[in-house]
Structure 1
Amino acid sequence: MATDYAPNAQGVHPYIIGEGEARSALDSVRAAKHIPELTLGDQAVVWGHSQGGHAALWTGIAGQAYAPDVKIAGVAAIAPASNMVEIMVLHGGDSSGARLGPYLATAYSQYFPDVTFDDAVRPEAREIARKIAGLCQFDPRDIPTLEKLTKDLNGAPVLVDPAGGAFGQRLRENAPNGQIPVPLLIAQGTTDVVVFPEVNDDYVKERCSAGQSVAYWKVPGQDHGGIVAPDSPLGGPLFTWTRDRFAGRPQAPGCDEEMIGQT
């Protein structure tokens, strides 16, 4: 099952807001157990890609405290947005930064009382940023408008400073830096230009230094979308890893890096 982040969903969308994402994911598992047509087991394995990867990591972090009734057997985060400060600094004023920045500024200003949209976004970008924040980059109807608005920014960054002020502090607080007490897999495409490989290289090193066991899979030649495409070489190994978690097979302790799909 997956959380409902459709445009008509009620409430504030917790975009890259860890606790909110985790609660949404865990509540979706609880809700599914009340559907009489379904017969579900006691365990769950969490998958997530991009923002969903960030949500998956936070679900692993918060799961025991928020939903001890949901037995998480493993967490797989694929190209997770593990450090949004670093991601936004690397993007600067490129097209991805132009889209991600307004989404972040909107969500954080709605969710956190000490963050305002106007403080997070440069004055000359605010009008365009508000328009971008109301569009979906995955909706074909919105894509032409998004492309035009992005060009109108002329390559200038949307955000004042991803690392500065209350906004930067809240971004750092929502980095998934807690311990995950179940087997953890992180997969990253080597040609990803949305969540850059160095972001998760750094994240894995930091978490391993903090004592977290991690299986880190790199997928050569795969970009941000390709790594989860139907023909991705990640698919087979990921299903095998997931079956192992449901079967209760242990994951090797420590940190291990592996190339997937390399010939």
Structure 2
Amino acid sequence: MTSQLAPSGAAFYVPPAPLPDGEHGDPIWAAELAGVAAFAEAATNERVLYRSENVHGEPIVVSGIIALPKHPAPGNPVVSWAHGTVGAADLAAPSRDTVDGPAHQVNVEPHGLVNDLLRAGYAVVATDYEGLGTPGNHPYLVGESEARSVLDIVRAARILHPELSGNVAVLGHSQGGHAAIFAAHHAPKWTPELRLVGVTAYAPGASVADGFRLIPQSPITHEVIGFFPLFLIGAVAADPSIDLRALLTDRAYELYQRDIPTRSRFGLSEEESFGGILGTDLLKPEAIDGPDYQKVLAVLEANNPVVTSEVGLRVVQGLDDPRVLAVTTSALVDQLTELNGSENVEYVTYETVADNPISPHFGVLTTDTPATLAWLAAEFAKG
């Protein structure tokens, strides 16, 4: 389908029924993107709806952004950007962002980096991920789902813009760092026509199963509890047999049903949501000994980003990051190095990062931008 057929407004994100035949990565439709979701340094911004496939082998649609540079770099290389945690609400999706959107504060954070990429001549594609903006649950931190979304949007962009090359780098922050590492792992089989030159993962999410175990042991309220329902929605998307009623207390289940569809991660951490419930009040007393608890753990452990990669992995971490702790990232790097060899894993750390109105967790993007641009130029030049 072509952009001329794209419906406007929220209808853009609703796929035609039945879904047209095609391959993963085929665009359904595209249309001009304006407003705060658009990248200021792009020659053109488009939102795109494209085919993908969930981890159960079923066809789905995913949305995202395609931004073309004003002055393309030689060879028309592409950078696929994987965003950090925004929540699971459709209106939190980056391509649906508005000034008063639930995740606006987080969605604008990578714009500085992306605009620098565009100024350097790179086409940038930015997936919303499965189930963010589009129908269905968001498989939060389910690596294969993230990887498919990150890679399939490159296919969609190249179909819509045939001048774009198959030379691709993946950059991702936080949840997106997790996604970027899994994209490196899955790319050879999922998108074999692409030449992935390397991956940079900023403060990648890892060892989430540990958080799932620890949060329900906390006898206090804390904003980090807002991540707990996201762990659950991701696990259920990967394993629909998980029964949340058997896991959660009545209060926690009520909050989950009410808030997951509408609140950003920041919203989930507010006092009137999961930020106002004791960690010890999340799970039923008998849940830890039950099968559903073990199923959630199994999903989270299976999606820890300790995976093989045929391309170089560059991991970047601020040592003062209060969200993704340096000790966690260092352990991940050690495991990735053991699996892939020291020549294929680079670890970049910063004692301090640029001031950021939200957190040093985001400041690492600004601090590492010059090094990222130098790394990209070197990796693309090898082609």
The TM-score bracket by the shorter chain reads 0.7 to 0.9
Report the equivalent of 1:169.
298
Residue of structure 1 equivalent to 2:350: 219
The structure whose RCO (Cα within 8 Å, separation 6+) is larger is 1
Name the SS of the counterpart of 2:317 in structure 1.
strand
Distance in 2, Cα, partners of 1:85 & 1:155: 15
- Cα 1:120–1:78 shift into 2, 3 Å: farther
Residue 240 (1) aligns with residue 371 (2): no
Q: Which has the higher strand share?
A: 2
Q: Where do 5+ consecutive residues of structure 2 fail to align?
A: 1-124, 354-359
**Residue type of the partner of 1:167?**
V
Within the candidate set 38, 42, 45, 2:169 is matched to 45
> Hey, what's the Cα distance between the residues in 2 that align with 1:8 and 1:39?
28
Give RMSD over aligned pairs.
Answer: 2.7
Instruction: Report deviation, 1:124.
Output: 4.4
- What is the correspondence of 1:1-263 to structure 2 with a 5 Å cutoff? 1-5=125-129, 7-36=132-161, 39-89=163-213, 93=218, 95-137=222-264, 143=267, 146-154=270-278, 156=280, 158=282, 165-212=294-341, 213-222=344-353, 223-228=360-365, 232-248=366-382
Instruction: State the TM-score, normalized to the length of structure 2.
Output: 0.57
Structure 1: which 5+ residue stretches go unaligned? 250-263
Q: 1:218 to 1:207 in 2, by over 3 A?
A: same
Q: CA deviation at 1:225?
A: 1.7
Contact 2:177 2:200 in 1 (8 A): yes
Aligned length: 241
Residues 120, 197 of structure 1: CA spacing in aligned structure 2 closer, same or farther, 3 A cutoff? Answer: farther
**SS of residue paired to 1:115:** coil
In 1, Cα distance between the equivalents of 2:349 and 2:236?
35
For 1:244 and 1:91, the matched residues in 2 are separated by: 42
Q: Could you tell me how far apart the structure 2 residues matched to 1:10 and 1:127 are?
A: 21
Separation in 2 of the partners of 1:57 and 1:117? 29
SS at match of 1:69: coil
Q: CA deviation at 1:28?
A: 0.3
Higher mean alpha-carbon deviation, 50-59 vs 96-105, is at 96-105
State the SS of the aligned residue for 1:44. Answer: strand
> Is the 8 Å Cα contact of residues 215 and 279 (structure 2) preserved in structure 1?
no
In structure 1, how many angstroms separate the alpha carbons of the residues matched to 2:279 and 2:299? 25
Distance of 2:313 and 2:269 partners within structure 1 = 39
Identity %: 26
Are the equivalent residues in 1 in contact too, given 2:224–2:269 (CA < 8 A)?
Answer: no
Distance 2:279 2:308 in 1: 38
**Contact 2:226 2:275 (C-alpha < 8 Å) held by counterparts:** no
Looking at CA atoms only, which structure, 1 or 2, has the larger radius of gyration?
A: 2
Aligned-residue offset at 1:171: 0.5
Cα deviation, residue 66, structure 1:
1.0
* Residue 176 of structure 1, CA deviation: 1.6
User: Once the 2 structures are TM-superposed, how far is the Cα of residue 151 of structure 1 from its aligned partner?
Assistant: 4.0
Q: How far has the Cα of 1:195 moved from its partner? A: 1.3
Compute the TM-score of the two structures, normalised by the length of structure 1: 0.81
Q: Distance in 1 between matches of 2:238 and 2:370?
A: 38
1:82–1:29 Cα change, 3 Å: same
